[in-house]
Amino acid sequence: MVRIITILVCMLLCPAGAFAQGDSARVFTDKSPLIYEDASNMWPYSFVNEEGKPDGFNIDLIEMLLSELAIPYEIHIKSLPEVIGDMTSGRADLTFSLEEGFGQKLGLFSRTVPMLFTQSVVTPKSKPLTIRSFRDLRNIKHQVTVNDSSLCHHIMLDYGWADHAIVSSDMSQSIQALNDSQEGVIVWNTLSLKWLIHHYQLDNVVLTPVDMPHGEYRFQSNSQSLLDSIDQAYLDLCADGKLSALESKWLYPVREQPDEPVWKKAVAAMAVMLPVAILFCLMYIVRKNRQVEESNDRLTQSLAEICMSVQAHMGNSCYAGSKSEFSMEDFLRHKEQADSHIAKLKKDNSDRSLRYWSMFYSDEAGVFVFGTDGCIQNANYKAGLLFNCDIDKLVEQNTDINSLFYTTFNNLSDADGYKGCIKVGESTVRFQMKAAYNNNKVLLGIYVFCL
């Protein structure tokens, strides 16, 4: 009686990590964890990533399930023959396997079926499709590449078509070689082929489903109690919706375009904006040039009218004398003389005389007069405002044309028609120069019109 009670107490106190393995008890602890093994070339289910670590749907699922069951574990990724050997010898406790094929010899299977393996064919884009069903494998003229110990491999062996199969232990290299050479045919698990095509960005192959028997991918172990616990934990995770994100991550790959480098985005933006900016600048320049040309035309016309008036009414001596001949008193005296003789002059001449004085004292443009020595002789009121200066002081200081307009004329005749602009305070003054000559083509002076 005491022995029976002791056995019952031991059963109640038995930890959750203890499961029967065949006829013996297997207790999973930190020092003796559960050993999960899987194949190293079953993309996207189990493989070794670029960091050399186990990765894939199976790995994430096992970690989630065993953490839910609070079972200490280790994950080992090996070649499929090594996994088969460890499961057979008992060095491994748990794996995934197809119920059909060699898996039936390794142990017990779970009731749940996490995945179904369907088959597809990968062919070059440049070649026609010749395999649409399993029966076509019997009649093909060329061999097909199959993964070692895959469902298709087992079925071809069972049907006696082993001569038609090229067995590959690394389908990633096989599918890349097919993409590059455009030669060959591959038959394998649909999701594995799809994942490899997306992962390696293979654009020269076509994936086509094949009418073939499918395989059930289940948990496999020698411990039925372990499989029962995993079945229940798997159903609980499904009911809670915790597996949806995991399935989306691994089983439904979406080809993501790599991000463009920042410099490429900048170049693309500039390529769009540059023509617009150039067009805007051209329109602005054309508009400004048109305004400057119109302004220059007005100045040139005014200058011509002044010169004609000067030659007609003022005489050559007005421009050939000394600096005093261009004083303000002289201009006033000439203006009075012109006004007193307006009635005696012909209409066109009187108009020109009045036009000359109205232009010189106009508020619209500044006018400077320089003698043959290049020194300022006179200027109107508007010129003083534009240059923010005292005209009388400029005359007293014998300010020359080069100093005032920052030019370098050694010969004043070269100033004829010169155009430019200078900065005066916060404003920009545009100007045009015009030389005045007598009837003998002798230089009399320089007019400078400013706006």
Q: Which of the listed ranges 24-33, 91-100, 230-239, 284-293 does the model predict with the highest average pLDDT?
A: 230-239
Least confident range of 49-58, 101-110, 197-206, 235-244: 101-110
Is the pLDDT at 63 greater than 90? The verdict is yes
pLDDT at 347: 43
348-372 pLDDT, tens digit each: 444 444 445 555 666 678 889 998 8
pLDDT band at residue 93 using 50, 70 and 90 as cut-offs: very high
pLDDT at 26: 76
* pLDDT, mean of residues 17-22: 45
336-346 pLDDT, tens digit each: 554 454 444 43
Q: Give the integer Cα–Cα distance in Å for 417 and 296.
A: 10
269-306 pLDDT, tens digit each: 777 777 878 887 888 888 877 777 676 656 555 555 55
* Residue, of 92 and 282, whose pLDDT is higher: 92
Q: Give the integer Cα–Cα distance in Å for 328 and 380.
A: 9
pLDDT at 359: 57
pLDDT at 114: 87
268 dihedral zone (left: phi>0; alpha: psi -120 to 50; beta): alpha
152, 94, 117, 129: which is closest to 44 by C-alpha? Answer: 117
166-181 pLDDT, tens digit each: 888 888 889 999 999 9
pLDDT at 103: 47
pLDDT band at residue 14 using 50, 70 and 90 as cut-offs: very low
388-432 pLDDT, tens digit each: 888 889 999 999 999 899 898 988 888 888 998 888 888 888 999
Look up the pTM and report it.
0.51
Q: Give the integer Cα–Cα distance in Å for 448 and 355.
A: 17
> For the chain, how big is the Rg over CA atoms in Å?
50
pLDDT band at residue 325 using 50, 70 and 90 as cut-offs: very low
